[in-house]
Structure formats: C-alpha cells, structure tokens
Chain A
Amino acid sequence: MLFCIFARNHSKMQRGNTYTWTRLAFIFISGLVLLFLVAPLLGLFFSTSLPDLFQAAADVQVQQSIGLTLGVSALTTLIAAVFALPLAYLMARKDFRGKALLQGLIDIPIVLPHSAAGIAVLGCIARDSALGRLADLFGLNLVGSPFAIGMAMAFVSIPFLINSARDGFQAVPLRLEQAALTLGASPFRVFRQISLPLAKPSVLSGLVLMFARGMSEFGAVVIVAYYPMTTPVLIFDRFNSFGLGYARPVAVLFVIISVLVFIGLRLMGRTGKKNNDVIL
C-alpha cells in the first residue's frame, strides 16, 4: 500500500518535472523505515486469532486494567493541564534569567530512564517522605495506589504537554494580545479569550500526546505500583508468568486502543499545520 502511495506521488513528480534521483533514493529509504515500524505491529496482529482477542476483551482483569489505565491517564492529564498551561505560557512569552536552565529541567523526564523516573517518584510518595507521612495521617498508603500511577504517568509525560502548548502560545502574534489589552481586557481575559483559543490546536495536541504517553508508560509505573495493574504492567505480568501466547491478545487489544488515540492526535494536530514540503 505504501509503495502504491509512493508510485502515485512518483508519477505526479514526473508530471511536475521535479523528479530527481535524490528524491527517489529518499523515498526508497523512507519506505524501509516505514516497513521497520509497521512490520512488528502487523506480525503481532496476524499471530493473534480473533477468538483469543475476544477472550482477552471479555477478561474482567483486562477490562479493569484498561479502565484504570485510561481513567488515571485522562484524569492526570486534565489535572496536569491546570499547572502546565500557565508554565507553557510563561515560557513562550517571558524572557528571564535561567530560562534555558528551566527548559532543560522541563525536558529532564524525556531523557531519564523511566525506571529511574519511577524510583524518583517513589522517593516522593514513600511512607518516609513528607507526602507519604501526610497521607499516613489519613490512613492512606500512596505506594501502589492510583495516585502513585498518576504521579508516575505525569512525571514522564508532562514535558510533552508543556512543550507543545509553549510552541502554540509562541505562534500567537503578540500584537493580538496587546490589542486586547488596549481594548480593556485584563491579562487573564487575554489569556482565556485570545491566547488559549488561538493556541488550541497545539494545546489539544499536547493534551492527547500527554494522555497517550501516560497510558503507555510501563517503566515508571511498575516501580510505584505493580498492583493495581495498568495494562502495560498486565502485559508484562502475563508474559513473565505465562508466556508470549498469553500476553499477545492483551497487547493487540491495547495497541488498537493506542492507535485510536494516535489517530485522534493526528486529526487534531492537522489543523493549522504548515506545509513543510521541500524540493530535494
């Protein structure tokens, strides 16, 4: 199918007289990369029978884990947005000393090994930490709770929301915000009615990216909460305890859900995207 798309574009190129060997080589190499991405997923799908898939979908433990994963990730994303959007706006609009350092700090979770991120989050919520002791006063143990899962998900995925929203706010012309101020709007009203609606595609894209990244997190989550099991942990557990055949249907089910989220992300991100075609 991919090669059909390329062949169609190829004939268009010849008509447009922009055909070059460089472009042909690039198309071929790009095809190999796409094959590398698609082949394992197709292998996963073709080696799982429909009855196995339906059995996995009917499994209460699987259903509960998918519900937990999606629910915690969605709630975490919404709560994180309240904190991430003002920070993203400041990063887009203000110049201050130490801004580059702060940007590095925001990006740290992206470069950390996720198991190390899990250990870091565990240190914050363990019984001997300030937060852990506070929860203990109310008889709660944060480790192994949906709260711990949300913390781990947020820690590794919040940079995606902050960076995407920051890019969106940066693309809003400053003049529009200034015009609103001179018309009597308070800075918060300007943020709400001008900056946020105009940065909406990037903010939505960031929210979906954070949600998708959070729900697929394994390394950090497994350290703070093996139980209750999120779906990535459940897939690992079934693979570890019963083998590949038992883990695969759950994996396929979760891949389908992830792909649906991914399609949603691409559809939302498409609005306002510039054409970045370069003639090679």
Chain B
Amino acid sequence: MSTGLVDNWLNLDTFGAIYPFVGTEGMLAVLGIAFWLGWHILQIRKESAEFKADMENIKKQGGPGKVLEAEAKREMNDSVGG
C-alpha cells in the first residue's frame, strides 16, 4: 500500500509531483473552494447571532447610555482598586 508515487529516492531526476494521491488535484480544488465558501456562510450566521445577542445585552442593561455608564464605573473601580 502506498499513497504516493515515491517508493525510493534513487531516481530523483525523474520525480515530478510527490505529494500523496497524485491525480486527485481537481477534487482537492473543489473541496478547498467548498471549504472556503462554507466558512463565509457559517461566519456570517455566527456574526448575525453574535450581533443579536449583543443587542439583547444592550437592551437588558438599559440601552447604550447605561452600558457606557457601567463601563465607565467599572474602569473607575479598576483604577482606584475598588
């Protein structure tokens, strides 16, 4: 069993492609492009869900003004060791 065309290193001057499964490059390209496009689709979904959660978080805390006030208070506490 061998996944590649290399079975020794004696005829180096005749070697071409030496990665495993030579001949499957077309299929690999399709898989690679599908992986890339799939990543975008999944990322967009995750980002939309993240923004939805962010909006709920902001609403729960009383709106952007309250969030900023709380953040300022936390930073003040941090800096004075509260």
Whether A associates with B in a native complex is: no
Q: What is A's interface to B at a CB cutoff of 8 Å? A: none
Q: Which residues of B contact A (CB under 8 A)?
A: none
